[in-house]
């Protein structure tokens, strides 16, 4: 198998893996869940612009997601009194409970898969994923081949 074929196979397998932790029959779309997870991380709240940057979507898309989550009582939106243009979005108690439930269900599904493949393969899978992510981070730090070569030389010294 060539590197390109392995890369294509890995892309397809990663897409399928992403489906493992998805929780069926929830009243939110994928984008809403992703936004809620991000919002939940900030107790003091987060701006719509920060959500858009995190999700890599337009501000119009984030406005739509925020409106939907607010209608469902999962988040609350406040406007600063000193600057009416500044909006902060926070998770409600219902939103926090929702994220907790989704997290528990997702962990349960992943544990079922780990049980099916066995402890050793689950540990190896986790180790390899960490290694892939570390390589990705390493490659993002250096935008040119010359920068990578220089970094490797420094490590080798």
Domain residue ranges in the chain? 3-117, 119-157
pLDDT of amino acid 23:
65
Higher-pLDDT residue of 13 and 69 is 69
| 97-122 average pLDDT score | 90
pTM for this one?
0.69
Residue 73 tokens, joined: 């009582």
Q: How does DSSP assign 42-57, residue by residue?
A: -TT-B-HHHHHHHHT-
Q: Is 110 helix (H, G, I), strand (E, B) or coil?
A: helix
Return d(Cα 3, Cα 43) in angstroms, integer.
44
Place of tokens 């030389």: 153
| 113-118 average pLDDT score | 93
Exposed e or buried b per residue across 43-77, where buried means at least 16 C-beta atoms within 10 angstroms of its C-beta: eebbebebbbebeebeeeebeebbebbeebebbbe
CATH fold of 3-117 reads Arc Repressor Mutant, subunit A (1.10.10)
pLDDT of amino acid 65:
95
Higher-pLDDT residue of 39 and 80 is 39
pLDDT of amino acid 105:
86
Task: Name the burial class of residue 39, with classes exposed (0-12), middle (13-18) and buried (19+) by CB atoms within 10 angstroms of its CB.
Answer: buried
Would you place residue 63 in the very low, low, confident or very high pLDDT band (cuts 50, 70, 90)? very high
């Amino acid at each position: 198998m060539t590197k390109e074929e392995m890369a294509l196979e890995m892309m397809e397998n990663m897409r399928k893996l992403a489906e493992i932790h998805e929780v069926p029959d929830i009243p939110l779309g994928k984008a809403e869940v992703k936004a809620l997870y991000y919002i939940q991380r900030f107790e003091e709240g987060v701006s719509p612009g920060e959500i858009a940057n995190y999700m890599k979507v337009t501000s119009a898309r984030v406005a739509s997601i925020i409106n939907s989550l607010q209608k469902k009582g999962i988040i609350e939106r406040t406007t600063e009194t000193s600057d009416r243009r500044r909006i902060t979005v926070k998770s409600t108690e219902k939103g926090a409970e929702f994220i907790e439930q989704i997290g528990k269900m997702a962990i349960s599904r992943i544990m079922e898969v780990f049980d099916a493949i066995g402890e050793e393969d689950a540990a190896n899978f986790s180790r390899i994923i960490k290694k892939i992510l570390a390589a990705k981070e390493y490659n993002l730090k250096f935008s040119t081949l010359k920068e990578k070569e220089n970094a490797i030389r420094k490590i080798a010294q």
